[in-house]
Structure 1
Amino acid sequence: MNTANMLRLVALAAIWGGSFLFMRISAPVLGPAVLIEYRLAFAALFLALVGWVLSRRGKGAALGVRRHWKHYLILGVFNSALPFMLFAFAARTLSASVLAVLNATAPLWGALVGAVWARQPVSPRGALGLLLGAGGVALLVGFDHATERPGAGLAVCATLAAAFSYSIASQYAKSAPSVAPFANAHGSMWAGAIVVLPLVPFMPSPGAPTIGIMGAVLALGVVCSGIAYIIYFKLIEEVGTTSALTVTFLSPIFGILWGALFLHEVIGWHTIVGSAIVLLGTALVTGFKPRFMRAAPAAGK
C-alpha cells in the first residue's frame, strides 16, 4: 500500500470514527428519525451532485433505478436506514467511544450470518475470535460509566443490532446484482431516505436544532456518508477489499480519540483493554494479518 492509499485509509478511519461523535452531539436534540433523514438526504444530494459531475466527464454514473430498485432498497434498509437509526437511538445514551467499539463487532456478526446464510462453517480460529469479541464487549459494557445510565442496556442492544444489520448487508452484497460501487452508494442513500421519511412525523425532534447541531448533521451526511463512500470505493479499486477493510481496526481508535477530545469522555483501562480484545477477535474471525506478520516470499520469487 503506497503513501497515498495509506493516507486515504487513515482519513477514512478518522471520518467514520467521527460519525459517532456527530451522532452523540445531534441525536439527543433531533431524535433518531429526523437526524437520519437529514443524514441520508444530505448524502444522497451530495452523491447526486458527484454523479452529475461524473456524467459530465463521460464516466457514467447511471443508477438504472427501474432495473435495480429492489437491490437499492435492500441495501438502503440494511446498510443505511436501519443501522443508522439504531446508532442514532443508542447515541442518545451511550458515549461515542462505546458506539465506535461496538460497531467493530460487525465482522464477528458476519461470521455467524455467513455460517447460517452461506453454510460456511466457523473455523476453530473463528470460534476463538467470536468468544474474544463477546468477552471484549462484556468488559467494555460492564465497566463503562455510560452503561449505568437509564436505558443503556437497550442502547447497547440497538448498537449490536446495527452491527448485525451491516453483516446482513455484507452477505447480501456477495450474491447481489453486479452494480457499480458508486451507484450502490448513491442508490442506497436515496432508498434509505425514502424508507425513513414516513417515520419522521411519528418521531419528531425533542429539541430545537442550533447551528452547531445542523453543522454536525451536515458533516454526517456529506462527509461521513458521501465523501467517506467515495474514499472507500477508491481504496477498494486501488488496494482491494481485504486491505480496505483494515479501516475496521482503525475507526474505533478515532472514535475513542474524538470522544475524549471534544466530548471529554473518559478513556479508562476497560476502554483500552475491551477495544483491544474486540479487535483481536475481529482479526481472528476475518483472518486479518498485518503485512509484517505475513510469510516472506522465498528467495528468487
Structure 2
Amino acid sequence: MRPMAAATPIVANAWLTPAELLLLGAVWGGSFLFMRIAAKDFGAFALVEMRLALGALTLLPFLLPVKDKLTASHWLRFLGIGIINSAAPFVLFAWAAQRAPAGIVAITNATAVMFTSMVAFLLYGEKISRRSGLGLIAGFIGVIVLASDKTSGGSVVPAALAGVFASILYGFGGNFSKRYLHDLPPSAAAAGTVLCASIVVAPLAAATWPSAPVPALSWLSAVLLGALCTGLAYFLFYRLLYRIGAPRASTVTYLIPLFGVIWAWVFLGEPLTVSMAVAGSLILGGVALSQQRAAARKT
C-alpha cells in the first residue's frame, strides 16, 4: 500500500500544474476583457486604482509574516518597483483598452518576456544566444505587423505602442525585482509592490474619478480585474513559481494572448484579423525561442 500512497502526489501534480497554468492564463487573459469593458466608464487612473487596491487587499496576508523584517530600504524598493512593474504598465494597458480591441492589447503583453531578456542583457550583461536574438527580431516584426492593423477603419498604433511600452516596463520591473527584492519571499515582494503602487495611483484616481454613474457591468469588471486578475492571479503564479520554478511558470505567457483574444471574441464579438493572427504567431514564436534557451540550461 505504501507505493500507491507515494504515487498519489505525483499523479495529482501531473494534472494540477497544467490545470493551474491553464487557469492562470485564462484569468490573466481575462484582464484585457475587463479593462476593455470598464475603462471607458472609469477612465485609466480610477480603474487601475481599483485593480491595485483590491489586489493589495488580497495579497496583504503574504506581507504580514515578514513585516518585522522590512526596512526603510525595502519600502523604497517596493515604491520604485511598484511604479515600474504595476502602476505605470497597468495605466498604459487601461489607456490602450479604451482605444483598441482587447485582443490586440493582450497580444502586446506577450512581448514582456523578450524585453526582460533585453534589459538583462543591456543592464547586467546577461548573454543573449543566437536563438534568443532571432526570437527578439521575430517579436519586433510581430509588433510592427500588429501596429499596422486597423479596426473599424481606425488605427491601433497608439494603443499598440502603449501596450509595448507597458511590456518594456515589465522587462525592467522583472529584472529589478529579481535583484533588489531577492531577500524576500516572492509573494511578499508582490504584495509590497502592489500596495505601494496603489498608494501612488490613489491621488490621480481621486482627481479623475468619474462624475457620471458607472454601469453595473463596469463595476463588476473592475472588481473582477482587481480581486481575480491581480490578487488571485498573483497567488496562483507564486504557487507555480515555488513548485515548478520560474522558467516553467513563465510559459503562462503563451496562454495570456490566446485567452485574451478568445474572451474578446466570445463576450465582445471582436474579430480575429489576419494581422492579429500573424503578429501573435511571430510574437509567441519569438517568446518560444527565448524560453527554449532557458529550458536548455536547466537540463
**CA positional deviation for 1:195:** 0.8
Instruction: Give, as a single letter, the amino acid of the residue that structure 2 aligns with 1:280.
Output: G
Q: Does 1:168 align with 2:165?
A: no
Q: Any conservation in 1 of the 2:247–2:294 contact (CA below 8 Å)?
A: no
Query: Against the structure 1 CA distance between its residues 143 and 130, is the aligned structure 2 distance closer, same or farther, given a 3 Å change threshold?
Result: same
Q: TM-score if structure 2 supplies the norm length? A: 0.88
Q: Does 1:110 align with 2:122?
A: no
Structure 1: which 5+ residue stretches go unaligned? none
Greater shift, 263-272 or 159-168, is seen at 263-272
State the secondary structure of the residue aligned to 2:128: coil
Q: Distance in 2 between matches of 1:137 and 1:215?
A: 31
Q: How does 1:195-206 map to 2 (within 5 A)?
A: 195-205=200-210
Instruction: Give, as a single letter, the amino acid of the residue that structure 2 aligns with 1:111.
Output: S
Q: Any conservation in 2 of the 1:93–1:149 contact (CA below 8 Å)?
A: no
Percent identity between the two aligned chains: 33
Q: Any conservation in 2 of the 1:73–1:192 contact (CA below 8 Å)?
A: yes
**CA positional deviation for 1:47:** 2.2
What does residue 188 of structure 2 align with? Answer: 183
Q: Distance in 2 between matches of 1:208 and 1:241?
A: 43
**CA positional deviation for 1:264:** 0.3
Q: Does 1:96 align with 2:102?
A: yes
Query: Against the structure 1 CA distance between its residues 288 and 17, is the aligned structure 2 distance closer, same or farther, given a 3 Å change threshold?
Result: farther
Q: Distance in 1 between matches of 2:240 and 2:15?
A: 12
What does residue 18 of structure 1 align with? Answer: 30
Q: Of the candidates 280, 285, 292, which is equivalent to residue 275 of structure 1?
A: 280
Q: Distance in 2 between matches of 1:192 and 1:64?
A: 20
Q: Any conservation in 1 of the 2:105–2:159 contact (CA below 8 Å)?
A: no
Q: Does 1:83 align with 2:89?
A: yes
State the secondary structure of the residue aligned to 1:12: helix
Q: Any conservation in 2 of the 1:78–1:168 contact (CA below 8 Å)?
A: yes
What does residue 5 of structure 2 align with? Answer: none
Instruction: Give, as a single letter, the amino acid of the residue that structure 1 aligns with 2:109.
Output: N
Query: Against the structure 1 CA distance between its residues 119 and 289, is the aligned structure 2 distance closer, same or farther, given a 3 Å change threshold?
Result: closer
Q: Of the candidates 107, 125, 142, which is equivalent to residue 148 of structure 2?
A: 142
Q: Any conservation in 2 of the 1:143–1:270 contact (CA below 8 Å)?
A: yes
Query: Against the structure 1 CA distance between its residues 38 and 7, is the aligned structure 2 distance closer, same or farther, given a 3 Å change threshold?
Result: same
Q: Any conservation in 2 of the 1:28–1:206 contact (CA below 8 Å)?
A: no
Q: How does 1:258-269 map to 2 (within 5 A)?
A: 258-269=263-274
Q: Does 1:40 align with 2:52?
A: yes
State the secondary structure of the residue aligned to 1:62: helix
State the secondary structure of the residue aligned to 2:148: helix
What does residue 123 of structure 1 align with? Answer: 129
What does residue 71 of structure 1 align with? Answer: 77
Higher helix share: 2
Q: Does 1:62 align with 2:67?
A: yes
What does residue 31 of structure 1 align with? Answer: 43
State the secondary structure of the residue aligned to 2:133: helix
Say what the alpha-carbon RMSD is for the aligned residues.
Answer: 2.2
**CA positional deviation for 1:196:** 0.6
State the secondary structure of the residue aligned to 2:229: helix
Q: TM-score if structure 1 supplies the norm length? A: 0.87
Q: Distance in 1 between matches of 2:27 and 2:126?
A: 32
Q: Distance in 2 between matches of 1:134 and 1:206?
A: 40
Q: Of the candidates 16, 19, 22, which is equivalent to residue 7 of structure 1?
A: 19
Q: Distance in 2 between matches of 1:154 and 1:188?
A: 27
Instruction: Give, as a single letter, the amino acid of the residue that structure 2 aligns with 1:14.
Output: A
Q: Distance in 2 between matches of 1:200 and 1:284?
A: 40
Q: Any conservation in 1 of the 2:132–2:293 contact (CA below 8 Å)?
A: no
Q: Any conservation in 2 of the 1:31–1:206 contact (CA below 8 Å)?
A: no
Query: Against the structure 1 CA distance between its residues 156 and 32, is the aligned structure 2 distance closer, same or farther, given a 3 Å change threshold?
Result: same
Q: Of the candidates 160, 178, 182, which is equivalent to residue 156 of structure 1?
A: 160
What does residue 9 of structure 2 align with? Answer: none
**CA positional deviation for 1:140:** 2.3
Q: Any conservation in 2 of the 1:63–1:187 contact (CA below 8 Å)?
A: no
State the secondary structure of the residue aligned to 1:26: helix
